């Protein structure tokens, strides 16, 4: 979608990295990678150092979404 957001309203990885770079977060943490995926890994590593509650929003939900999809498909088939 236009503006660096997904259809659900979340930031794309590229937009997230760009915003973190613009506000100086990456420089303050010493993260210098040019690859967005490597940068994201380093940001998550920095968040984990603060404690487990800091990583609450960095969750891979693909497995949950697949389970949810099967539940809705079963419900629709009834």
pLDDT, one tens digit per residue, over 24-65 is: 989 998 888 888 888 888 888 887 777 666 555 555 667 777
Q: Nearest-5° angle of CA 16, CA 18, CA 51?
A: 50
> Is the pLDDT higher at 12 or at 2?
12
Structure confidence at residue 5 (pLDDT): 76
3-state secondary structure of 10: coil
Yes or no: say if 26 and 16 are a contact pair by the CB < 8 Å rule: no
Q: Average the pLDDT over each of 5-9, 17-21, 57-61 and give the range with the smallest value.
A: 57-61
Give the Cα separation of 45 and 61 in Å (integer): 19
Confidence of residue 1 (pLDDT cuts 50, 70, 90): very low
pTM for the model: 0.56
């Amino acid at each position: 979608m236009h503006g660096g957001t997904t259809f659900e309203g979340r930031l794309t990885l590229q937009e997230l990295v760009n915003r973190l770079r613009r506000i100086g977060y990456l420089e303050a943490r010493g993260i210098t990678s040019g690859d967005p995926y490597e940068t994201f890994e380093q940001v998550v590593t920095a968040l984990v150092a603060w404690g487990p509650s800091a990583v609450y929003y960095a969750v891979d939900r693909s497995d949950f979404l697949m389970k949810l999809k099967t539940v809705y498909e079963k419900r629709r088939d009834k």
